Amino acid sequence: MKKLSIVTVLLFLLSVYKGYAQEVCDDLSTAQIGAYNVGDTIFTTSDFDIISDNYFMGGTCGGNGGEIFFNADSKFSVSGNISFNFDCSQKEVKFDFASFAGQCFSLSVNDSVIGNNSDLFLSAIPNVSFSFDTVSNILTMIGGICSVRVGADYMYLDQICVTSLSSENINCTTYQTSNAPDGIYLVDEDTTFIFDSTLYQQVSMQIYGDFNNWDLSSNHQAGQTYFKVNGSDSVSLETIYNNLPYTLNGVVITIDTNDLNVTTSMDGVIFTSGTIIFTGNIASLTMVQFESGIVQICTELINCPNCPCSIDADFTYTNNGHSFHFTSAATGTEYSWSFGDGETSTATDPYHLYSAPGTYEVCLTNYNLTDSCTITKCDSILVECTTPNANIITPNQDGIDDYIELQCNDVKIYDRNGILIIELINETIWEGQNANGNPVPMGEYIIVCTSTGVTTSVTVIW
């Protein structure tokens, strides 16, 4: 394991909630057959690259470099050494093997050997879990996967399937490399991580050491592993364990003892890894280490249960008949409007055209990333009955009402949902076309004079 000096890592989380990705499979049928030298790129997908290497050179199976071919059953086949390289993010990877008959190969994950097709891949490594279906011959790996190396006389694959498990509001950094497979390891030095203290977030730090299977009530190493939070005050892992949940400088600390893995460390000592969870407005975390290490750190933006929301959702509006222009006075970063007639918008200052008179409840929901909070304000508006719209055009080139004359030389035209249809500069008329020159659908449209803010509605009939 590599001994590092003080490490400072800047971790900013600036993404928003999104869903999980779907499983993507590749049967590798488009790979180019042939012999490759060490370091050659054999095949590339959006999820992984296949590189020829010499990791298992001199081992039971596999020689220097890799050779790709397709067997009699048209299965992707490997002879030699290759590496499947991933981006180290949290994912599920499935290796769907063809029949094991006549095969000999070994595998390593994140440069830790996990076994071969004889012992069915039972070895454990930090931050990655394994399962093997002996009926379907599918090896499943879940965790922060950086590389899967193969040394083979022969190995046959039906396909490889990858599913991302990282949502974009979670940002993880894995400290496993070929030089430090068990992560950052220090004997008695400090490792400091810097965060954006304006964000209320949860920081999960996966660490490992000789922690007696996480019975830390009177563990020697836990008593000499310290954490500093937002300053110079420190607390030992043993004290945290005996006083859960523990609060230090406004940050709540807990331990996830369900997240346990076992790894073999230096001199054959069995180390146990678990996760320490810090929740709050965190400026910095320092781990004062005594023969222990850090495997991974994840940050997740979460809602602050008792924090005041520094934003509002105020808005104003003006109207010209049924045409309304709403202006947000809010200070957030994302907006969602509901106009009370079933229509919505995510524009900051939308235009909306009501089709009938009446009283409508308009609501603006405002979200702010900094506070992780959401606030909504609603107001009732009265849409009064007006005389029929005199601005009607029938742009069918019959010479009657084919266009509307524009009252200024800087015009934006929106549909009734507030979507910009076309912007006109130094034009005198509009003939019912969008920005691509195609006829717009029949309906009502809002003409906005950009320089004066004056709005006019027009009805297009075909």
Report which of 98, 101, 88, 104 is spatially closest to residue 136, judged by C-alpha positions: 98
Q: Does the fold of domain 392-460 match that of domain 20-164?
A: no
Burial of 69 (0-12, 13-18, 19+ CB in 10 A): middle
Angle (CA) 195 199 203, round 5°? 55
CB atoms within 10 A of CB 259: 15
- Is the Cβ–Cβ distance between 157 and 97 less than 8 Å? yes
Going residue by residue through the chain, which has 462 residues, state the pLDDT in tens, using 9 for 90 and above.
233 222 332 222 222 223 334 688 988 888 888 888 888 888 888 889 998 888 877 655 655 556 677 766 777 888 888 889 988 777 889 988 876 655 677 888 877 777 666 555 555 565 677 777 777 888 888 777 888 888 887 778 888 999 876 555 677 777 654 444 455 555 456 778 888 887 778 898 888 777 665 666 666 666 678 888 988 788 888 888 888 888 888 888 888 755 445 444 445 566 677 788 898 888 898 887 656 677 778 887 766 555 556 566 788 888 777 778 888 876 666 788 999 998 888 888 888 888 888 899 999 887 765 555 677 888 999 987 654 445 788 888 777 778 888 888 899 999 888 889 999 998 888 889 999 989 999 888 989 988 888 888 888 887
Architecture of domain 315-383: Sandwich (2.60)
Q: What share of the chain is helix, strand, coil (3-state, %, to 5)?
A: 5, 50, 45
CATH number given to 20-164: 2.60.120
> What is the rounded distance in angstroms from the CA atom of residue 141 to the CA atom of residue 131?
7
- In CATH terms, the fold of domain 392-460 is Immunoglobulin-like (2.60.40)
Q: Where are the domains of the chain?
A: 20-164, 170-301, 315-383, 392-460
> What is the rounded distance in angstroms from the CA atom of residue 75 to the CA atom of residue 78?
10
